[in-house]
A = this chain, B = another copy of it.
Amino acid sequence: MIDLIAFDADDTLWHNERFFKLTKESFAGLLADYAQADHLEERLLAAEKRNLSRYGFGVKGFTLSMIETAIEVSGADLPASVVKQILDAGRDMLDHPVELLPGVGETIDRLSKTHRLVIVTKGDLFHQERKIAASGIADYFAGVEIVSDKSPETYRSVFARHGAGPGGGLMIGNSLKSDVIPAIEAGGWGVYVPHELTWVIERAEAPREHPRYREIPAVSALPALIEGLTGA
C-alpha cells in the first residue's frame, strides 16, 4: 500500500529547534539592557516573518533578523561587540553537531529494507546538505529534496518522482502546516509526529477527521503504523 516514505528532517529526524531556542536565550541576554525578553522575542518573530519572503528559511536569515532586531530595540546605542556576538551565535548554529532524535537510526534502518525513503526539507541548501552528510543515515535515503517551500505541488512532484504516485506516498514530520497538510492535499498520507519545540510559524490545526491523517508520538512508531495501514 505505502511504497514511499518521505521524512521531514529538522525536529523529525534530528534536533534543530533546540539550537534556535538556545540562541534566542543568548540573544535575550545580550540585549538585556535594551529590551525585556518577551518584547524582544516578539520583535524578533516579527522581523523573521517580515523577512521570510526575502530570506526564506534557515540560519543565515535568522542571524540577519537577529541583527536587525537588535538595532531596532537599541537604536544608535548598540555596541559593535554585541553585533559580533550575534554573528558568532549564528556561526555556532551552523556548526552544531547533528544529533538524531531517539529511535531514528534503528527505525530508518528497518524501514529502508521494505520501503523507498526520501528526505524533504526546507532551509539553507548548503546547511541542510551538510547536516544530511553529518547525520550518519544519508545512505538510507534514495533521494533528498531541499526545497524553498513545502506546498501540495512539492509533494505531488516528490510522490511522482520517487514513488508510484500519491496514493502510495506518506510524509512524516513535526509541522502540520508544511509536512502533514500539504502531503494529504497532494493525495498522500500525512503523519504528524509532534515535537515539543515547533516554530510558531509552522503550527496549524490537525486535520483529525481526514482518513489519510495519522499522529504518532515518535518516528519509532512508524513501522507499526505502516503495518497497520497495510493490514487494513
Contact = CB atoms under 8 A, between A and B. Distances in A.
Given A80-B78, A84-B71, A124-B124, A64 B55 contact: no
A129 B56 CA distance: 11
Nearest to A76: B80
Contacts of A127: 56
A77 B76 CA distance: 12
A124 B56 contact: yes
Interface residues of A, number: 34
Interface of A is mostly: helix
**How many copies make up the complex?**
2
Contacts of A129: 148
Interface in A35-79: 54-57, 60-61, 63-64, 67-68, 71, 74-79
A64 B74 contact: no
A230 interface: no
Contact of A78 (B56, B83, B95): B83
A145 to B, nearest CB: 11
Contact of A71 (B55, B76, B80, B90): B80
